[in-house]
Each structure stands twice: as C-alpha cells, then as structure tokens.
With several copies, the nearest count.
Chain A
Amino acid sequence: MTEAGNTRTRRLIEAVAATIIEHTGELTELDSAIGDGDHGQNMKRGMTAILDDLDAIAAKPLPEALKAAGTQLVMKVGGASGPLYGTLFMALGKEIAPDPTRDDLTHAFAAAIEAVKVRGKSDAGQKTMLDVLVPVCEALRNGGSAREIDEAAEKARDATRDMQAQKGRASFLRERSIGHIDPGARSSQLMIAAVIDVLGEGA
C-alpha cells in the first residue's frame, strides 16, 4: 500500500479513537440514564486496544486494517457495542476497495450496516446506533457534502432523544427510555464526525 494510505489510515484511527476516549464520561452518562453505564468504558477499552496495535494496523491495506480494527473491538469490548461495532468494521473491511471511491465507500458502508442489522436483529427506528448509521449512509448515497453528512449525523443523533427504545437495554424501560439520546447513536456520530474531519483535511 502507499505511504499516503498508511498515513491516512493512521490518522483516521487516531482521530476516531481520540474523540471516543475524550467523550468517555459523556457516553457513560448517557448509558447510565437508559442503560447500564458502561458504554463509555467499553468504547474506550476498544479504542485503546486499537491504538496499542496501531503500527501493525496502519501498515495494512485499508480493508485489512478495518478488519483488524473490527477484530480488536470484538475481542476487547464485549457488551452489545463490541460485537456490533466489531461487525461494522469487519464488514466494512470485507466490502471496501483498497483505495475506495465514494461509490465504493457507499456500497461498503451499506453492506456493513446490513451486517450490523443481522447481528443485532435490529433496524433503524429502534433507538440505537443504527439510527445514526442509516441516515449517514443515506446522505452519503445522496451525494451530500462532508458538512451535510456531518449535520445529518448530528440531527439523527438528536432524533433518538424522542424515540422509544425497542432494542438494547434501553428497551427494558419502555416509555421511560424517551427523552434521552441513545449512547450508541452518540458514539456513532462522534466517530463519523472524526472521519469526516480527517477526510475533509485531505480534500
């Protein structure tokens, strides 16, 4: 792979990890309100594991790097978010081209989201990370600018506030889950914002 690709992968990973680690407390707070208060620590643990392995991961071609990152998440995070984000990254890696066009990316992202739905037996509209991932994929497909995608993610994240959870621990609360942003929606939006930030730089 190219030197540039290696650097980009590294910068992507670092940016995603940094934003998650920085927001550990907030993610935990959100999960305390309607879950079990571990989402921040879970994601931080996963990101730390990826950072620990950064040299090896960033040296790989993009597809392999994504698969490796996904494997770290599966093996280090646990909980619901571990298998789900792990699946997302592993499936992305499986579907993506080594140097993807926007179309490639859209296709791979859509496929990865399908894999998450299968793993989670879930769909958009149930107050989960999918409620951010699906609209973001839509915006990507519709040719939205970096800024528009960013905004779509934020809007989608905020929209989970009024939803009643039908999947994840928050669903145990039924109507009491309304009024809080879903922690997984927030972590998805954070990661997407970081990715856009890095890709935006290069654009």
Chain B
Amino acid sequence: MKKLINSVDTVLSDSLAGFCAAHADILTPGGDFKFVRRRELKPGKVALISGGGSGHEPLHAGLVGRGMLDAACPGQIFTSPTPDQMLAAAEAVDTGAGVLLIVKNYEGDVMNFDMASEMSSGSVASVITNDDVAVEDSLYTTGRRGVAGTLVVEKIVGAAAEEGGDLASLKALGERVNGATRSMGVALTSCTVPAAGKPMFEIGDDEMEMGVGIHGEPGRRRVKLASADKIAEEMIAAIVNDFGERPKGDVLLFVNGFGATPAMELYLMYDSAARELQKHGIRIARSLVGSYVTSLDMAGCSLTVTFLDEEMLRLWDAPVHTAALRWGC
C-alpha cells in the first residue's frame, strides 16, 4: 500500500485536521471531528446536514459552506457515521428552522441517520439520494445507491435553503432533484482501504469494472477495457434509458473522477459523454468536471446527468462557497 499517511489509525483525523486548517476561513470542526460545520451560520435558515463514510473526499465536508451544507459528519473510511455524530452536528447548526438530512441510499447511512432522527428532539426531515442506475431498484436489492448525484442535490437544495426555503419545500425539492438525476460509474483499478492494506479486488491490466459504486465494491460486470467512447456510450445509454419519460429541461453533465483519475482523462470522458448525449438529442446546459465524489485511490469515473428545470438551473448557478465548489462569490 502506497499512501501519504502517518499511520493507518490516524489517517482520518490527520486528514481532517489538515482539511479544517486549510479551510479555516469557512469552516470549523466540532466535537473531536464528529462533524465539520460552517463557520458562520445563517439564523432562521433550515440547516442542511449530510455525511457518510470517509474516503469520498471532497464529499461531504468539502461541500460545507455558504450555499451548500451547514455540517457534514465524516464516518470512518467507507463506514457510515454514527447517530451521535449526527445529533451533535444537528445541535450545533440548527438555528430553529429545522434540519434536513441528505443521505446516500446505503443501509448503513440510512439506518444511522434514521436512529439519529428518532433520537432527535428537533424537527428533522431527510432526502435519500439513489441515483446509481447500475443497481436495480427492485425487491431483491436494497435499492439504488446514492453516488455522485448527491452533490447535485446538495448544491441545489443548499441554494434554496440559503434563499429561505422551509423544511418541507426543501425536502420536496431534494426529492425532485434526485428524481431528475442518474449516474453510472466505471473503475479501471480497485482502491485500497488503509486498514486493509491491499486492493479490494484484483483486476487484470486489460479489464475494467462497469457499474461500480464508490466503495471499492466490484461492479456489475467485469469486461475488457474499452475506449472512452464505448464506455461513454454504454453509460449514457443506461442513464438515458433509465429515465423513461425524460424530465423537462436541458441537462447538467457531471463527469466525476474517483480519486486517481487525471484531469486529462476526465475531460476526455466529458468529450465522449457530451457526444453521446447529443446523439440522444439531449442538450447540455451546465457542466462539472472533477474529482468530487471519490473512492479513495480508485482510477475511473462516473457520469451523472441531471435534467435541470428553470428553478433548478437558477439554484445551480446561485453563489456557493465551499472548499470544493465555489462560484458567484
């Protein structure tokens, strides 16, 4: 295992310490890194809290700040955070208008956030994201995973919260954005959880995993390495077909790197994906390219497509100031 770390046991706290120090102008840690919160709260605003296992940086802590999250709870690597983290975060950032939890659809995350909601005395609602089309949403699975589309939900709902939206309307908006969002991922390599010390799976030099999530789990199918165009063709087809009746609007195309994918390759994938969307007659209104929802040191990427209605487009463009996303201010 080759990583820039001090010891397996301190990876998370060392990294969070660096993160909080590097962005001390906008955020601050709470309770021994139980959570990371926005430095300046906006009284009367619904508090947005997300969280999940670590190893997906900059998600979620890198999305804390003006126009997005009020707090993020980092769990252990690939392990959902615990209810006490969420309760502590809620207590710290709830200014009276209630708390909206944004939760990726993994049983661990959902159960822990559920327990926190049950224990909480304040008013709490949640949005569950489940944008991954690689997983069938059927009786025989736990349902689709929440992956990179979660960032889109957090951005748009975050902007609406900043504008003063109430808890119920934000929850509804979050569900609308989630419903308009689909993702799919491909991995070229596995990733290495520090505590395990070796890659999660072995994969040949000419193979890739189609339909991976963001936890180093194997994907749906192992296939021969294909060209960027072929990969984009399959992923965009899966995404577009999954929509059934297409929502209104042009789309946001979000090409997300998994942690070890150079910008050069991500932009190349953007080019391939954009051409595929065009073939399907879908127009791109906004673009985002970068490693935002990662899987430690995995090489590969995901494509996310969100149909933006007018309100969503406006909220996407609204000012945001977080460690990872910043514009308009």
Residues of A in contact with B (beta carbons under 8 Å apart): 28, 32, 34-38, 40-42, 45, 74-84, 119-120, 164, 166-169, 171-174, 176
The answer to whether residues A37 and B196 also contact, given A42-B76, A45-B76 and a CB cut-off of 8 A, is yes
Question: B84 → chain A, closest Cβ, in Å?
Answer: 5
Contact B201 A32 (CB under 8 A): yes
Contact between A42 and B112, CB atoms less than 8 A apart: no
For the complex formed, measure the closest distance between the CB of B302 and the CB atoms of chain A, giving whole angstroms: 14
Q: Are A172 and B140 in contact, with the CB atoms below 8 A? A: no
Cβ-defined contact, A78 with B201, below 8 A: no
Quick one: CB contact mask for B17-56 with A, threshold 8 Å, 1 for yes?
A: 0000000000000000000000000000000000001000
Interface string of B185-209 (1 = CB under 8 A from A): 0000000010110001100000000
Q: Is the CB of A171 within 8 A of B140?
A: yes
Residue of A at shortest CB range from B8? A41
Q: Is A38 in contact with B83, judged by CB distance below 8 angstroms?
A: no
The answer to whether A168 and B107 touch (CB under 8 A), given A35-B217, A36-B217, A38-B77, is yes
Main secondary structure of the interface of B (DSSP, over half): loop
Answer yes or no: B82 CB below 8 A from chain A CBs: yes
User: A28 to chain B: which residues have CB within 8 Å?
Assistant: 193, 195-196
Least CB separation from B52: chain A residue: A78
Q: Is the CB of B215 within 8 A of A36?
A: yes
B140 / chain A contacts, CB cutoff of 8 Å: 164, 166, 171
Minimum CB–CB distance from A93 to chain B (whole Å) comes to 16
Chain B proximity of A189: nearest CB distance (Å): 20
- Closest chain B residue, CB of each to CB of A42: B79
- The CA of A84 and the CA of B111, in the complex, are separated in Å by 8
- Identify which of A32, A37, A38, A119 contacts B111 (C-beta below 8 A): A119
What CA separation (Å) do A78 and B113 show in the bound complex? 10
CA distance A166 to B84 in the complex (A): 28
A77→B77 contact, CB < 8 A: no
20 A–B contacts, CB within 8 A, in A order = A34-B217, A36-B78, A36-B215, A38-B53, A38-B79, A42-B79, A74-B82, A74-B83, A79-B75, A79-B80, A79-B112, A80-B107, A82-B82, A119-B111, A166-B139, A169-B215, A172-B134, A172-B213, A172-B217, A173-B218
